[in-house]
Amino acid sequence: MYPKLVLLFFNRASNGF
């Protein structure tokens, strides 16, 4: 899949989903 999407998702999860 796209790395941008994964990065965004990871960033959001790290922020506190």
Q: CA 17 from chain center: how many Å?
A: 9
Q: 1-17: per-residue pLDDT in tens?
A: 678 999 999 999 888 75
- Residue 17's pLDDT is 59
pTM over 0.85: no
Q: Which helix (H) or strand (E) element contains residue 5?
A: helix 3-15
- Residue 1's pLDDT is 62
- Residue 3's pLDDT is 86
- Residue 7's pLDDT is 93
Which amino acid does the sequence have at 16? Answer: G
